[in-house]
Structures are given as C-alpha cells and as structure tokens.
Amino acid sequence: MSTEKKTPTRRITAPQIAARKGGQPIVSLTSYHAHTAAIVERHCDFILVGDSVGMVMHGMENTTGVTLELMILHGQAVVRGTSRALIVVDMPFGSYEESPQIAFRNATRIMKETQCGAVKLEGGAPMAATIRFLVDRGVPVMGHIGLTPQSTHVMGGFKTQGRDAATWDAHVADAVAVADAGAFAVVVEGVVEPLAVRITEAVPVPTIGIGASAQCDGQILVLEDMLGLNPWVPRFVKVYGDLGPMIERAVEGYAGEVRDRSFPGEAQTYT
C-alpha cells in the first residue's frame, strides 16, 4: 500500500458563495452530466444540477415529474466529473413541501448519495421554516423565488413575475424570509429588473439571477439553452454556442460514411 499522502480536493463551499455578496459576480451554469460538468467547472463558481433536467434531458413538459432518484443519478454524475466547484442539487417537486422532517430526510439522502455540497428548493416565505430546519441540521440551502417552475400549474405557466408593482413587496418579503431562514444564496428567476434591484438590496446573501437582469449578485443559465440545444429560446437566454447545427453536421457525416462504407476506415479497424 502506498504511504504517499493525497492532498484533499478543496471544493468551493456554500459559505464562500455567501461571502461574495456585492463582490465580483458569481458565475454558474446547470449541468447534468460528468463530461460537461468538467468543462463547466473550469469557469464557474457553482454548478446546479437543476430539475430542469426533466425538460432538457428527458423531454418532460415541466419539472413536476422529476423524481428524487433522477436528481440523485444526475447529481452523482456531476460530482464525479468535478473536483473544485460547489455542486448544488435541486430538490424535486414533492420531496420537501410536506414537512421540514420529510425535507430533511430527502435532502440528506441527496447529500449522502451524491456527495453534493448543497441543495436548492423553491418557494419564499412558506418555505422559510423548512429552510431553517435544514440549515440548523447541517444542510446548506439555496433558495429560489420569483418564477418558481415547480408551481407552474398554480401560476398558469412560466410567467415573468413583478410586472405589476403592487406584487413587489410580497416578492421582497419572500426573499427576506428565505435569507433570514439561513439560505446561503437565492436564485431569483424571471422577474422585472426594478424588482431584482429591490430584492438584491433587501437580502444579505447573493442573489443569482436567471431572467432577472444584470442587477443580481450572480447569474445562472441552463447549459443546453446557452449552447443552442433548446429549440425554444427564452428571451433572457443569450446563445453563446450553436451546438445544434454542429451535432446535425456530425451525425449527417457519420450516416453518409456508414452508408458509403468509408466508415470505419483503416484507422478505426483492428487488423
């Protein structure tokens, strides 16, 4: 047996993200897959294994069908593919709303089975007691307010929040409740810019915007959206890479070469 000591890998921690309030913008993307996560972590502070995986990778219409097992499977892949970034895994719909105790059981299952560094759950003031229960028992929690996709059936679709200024106080109160309960950061999704400013000013932890303007303390996008792999591009997404046509060309090239028998060639053949 080797006696050589290995230096333990140091991942970014939830408190380190929390400490970046108001500082250099926090960069984040989603990832569901070991190899893409390895690329993403070279440029990001944290990676979210989001429940958008259900829509992006499994063709679901919304995120309500995502299970704990699915989140764990993708969480494991992303943790295996990375060594430095904080990995945050989404708690899926139905796995935390019923009671703080059930939320704790499921959050600790996610952490034990994936070895991720934090979980994220959706909801404002009504989820504050659950967030407090988890944080007090050793589970770092990222909040998620504004447009909360797991509530799509209640909201009547994926609707930008805060178009009516009369709703702003409630959204700010949600953010404050989540932060007061101990969340180390809050995702603010799909809100108008002046509301994002109000929320960001109101909480002592970083706000991570998605469709919430440049006024947040950090940004997150769904990787496949910014790589051009989603046929429907929401307005808040900027497409940084057009992978769809690249994949199409590669698959077309392969199919043609199989059909004309030029693949496999000599280089790919065991003689």
91 near ligand KIV, rule: CB under 6 A? no
150 near ligand KIV, rule: CB under 6 A? no
* Footprint on residues 228-257 left by ligand KIV (CB under 6 A): none
Q: Which of 68, 103, 179, 220 binds ligand KIV (CB under 6 A)?
A: 220
Provide the 3-class DSSP secondary structure of residue 3.
coil
Start-to-end CA distance of the chain, whole Å, equals 39
Q: Which of 14, 30, 36, 174 binds ligand KIV (CB under 6 A)?
A: 30
Q: Which is nearer to ligand KIV, 100 or 224 (CB)?
A: 224
52 near ligand KIV, rule: CB under 6 A? yes
189 flagged as catalytic:
yes
148 near ligand KIV, rule: CB under 6 A? no
Could you tell me the CA-to-CA distances from 268 to 58, 157, 183 in Å, in that order? 32, 49, 52
222 near ligand KIV, rule: CB under 6 A? yes
Residue 253 is encoded by which pair of tokens? 């090239």
Q: Which of 71, 131, 179, 187 binds ligand KIV (CB under 6 A)?
A: 187
User: Distance (Å, rounded) from C-alpha 83 to C-alpha 8?
Assistant: 10
For the CA atoms of 76, 84, 23, 30, what is the dihedral angle to 10 degrees?
Answer: -30
User: Distance (Å, rounded) from C-alpha 103 to C-alpha 123?
Assistant: 13
Q: Which is nearer to ligand KIV, 176 or 220 (CB)?
A: 220
Continuous segment of H or E residues that includes residue 258: helix 243-259
- Nearest Cα to Cα of residue 77 among 35, 112, 109, 23: 35
The least distance separating ligand KIV from the CB of residue 197, rounded to whole angstroms, comes to: 19
Q: Which of 189, 193, 201, 257 is catalytic?
A: 189
Q: In the chain, what are the helix, strand and coil shares in percent, each to the nearest 5?
A: 45, 15, 45
The least distance separating ligand KIV from the CB of residue 251, rounded to whole angstroms, comes to: 26
Residues marked as catalytic:
189
Binding site for ligand KIV (CB under 6 A): 30, 48, 50-52, 90, 187, 189, 210, 220, 222
